[in-house]
Structure 1
Amino acid sequence: MTGQPELSNRVFTVPNILSFGRLLLVPVFLVLLMQGRDAAALTVLVISSLTDFLDGYIARRFNQMSRLGQLLDPAADRLYIFAAIIGLAFRELVPWWLVAVIVGRDLLLLVLGIVLANYGYGPLPVHLLGKVATFALFLGMPLIMLGLAVPALAPFSQPVAWAITLWGAFLYWWAGAIYLIETLRVIRPVQAK
Structure 2
Amino acid sequence: MSETSAEDRIWTVPNLLSFLRLLGVPVFLWLVLGPKADGWAIAILAVAGFTDWLDGKIARAFNQTSRLGRIIDPAADKLYVFATIIGLLLRDVIPWWLVVVILGRELFVACFIPVLRKHGYKALQVHYLGKAAMFNLMYAFPLLFLASHAGWYADIARIVGWAFALWGTGLYWWAGVLYGVQVLQLATSAKKE
**Normalised by the size of structure 1, how large is the TM-score?**
0.89
Q: What is the RMSD of the two structures over their aligned residues, measured on CA atoms?
A: 2.0
Give structure 2 stretches of 5+ with no counterpart: none
Contact 2:49 2:135 in 1 (8 A): no
Give structure 1 stretches of 5+ with no counterpart: none
Q: Which amino acid in structure 2 is aligned with residue 8 of structure 1?
A: E
Residues 1-40 of structure 1: pairs in structure 2 closer than 5 A? 7-35=6-34, 36-40=36-40
1:86 paired to 2:55: no
Mark the CA change 1:175 to 1:53 in structure 2 (over 3 Å): closer, same or farther.
closer
Mapped to 1, the partners of 2:171 and 2:127 lie a distance apart of 11
Query: Aligned-pair distance for 1:114?
Result: 2.8
Query: Aligned-pair distance for 1:121?
Result: 2.0
Query: Aligned-pair distance for 1:31?
Result: 1.5
Q: Which amino acid in structure 1 is aligned with residue 140 of structure 2?
A: G
Q: Which amino acid in structure 1 is aligned with residue 22 of structure 2?
A: L
Q: Which amino acid in structure 1 is aligned with residue 116 of structure 2?
A: L
Corresponding residue of 1:70: 70
Contact 2:93 2:145 in 1 (8 A): no
Mapped to 2, the partners of 1:149 and 1:62 lie a distance apart of 41
Query: Aligned-pair distance for 1:168?
Result: 1.4
Contact 1:39 1:149 in 2 (8 A): no
Corresponding residue of 2:45: 45
Q: Which amino acid in structure 2 is aligned with residue 34 of structure 1?
A: L
Residues 105-184 of structure 1: pairs in structure 2 closer than 5 A? 105-148=105-148, 151-184=151-184
1:59 paired to 2:50: no
Mapped to 1, the partners of 2:184 and 2:56 lie a distance apart of 31
Aligned residues: 189
Mapped to 1, the partners of 2:95 and 2:148 lie a distance apart of 16
Mapped to 1, the partners of 2:28 and 2:88 lie a distance apart of 12
Percent of aligned pairs sharing the same letter: 48
Query: Aligned-pair distance for 1:186?
Result: 1.0
Mapped to 1, the partners of 2:61 and 2:26 lie a distance apart of 30
**Normalised by the size of structure 2, how large is the TM-score?**
0.89
Q: Which amino acid in structure 2 is aligned with residue 19 of structure 1?
A: S
Mark the CA change 1:129 to 1:120 in structure 2 (over 3 Å): closer, same or farther.
same
Q: Which amino acid in structure 1 is aligned with residue 8 of structure 2?
A: N
Greater CA deviation, 117-126 or 97-106? 117-126
Query: Aligned-pair distance for 1:148?
Result: 3.5
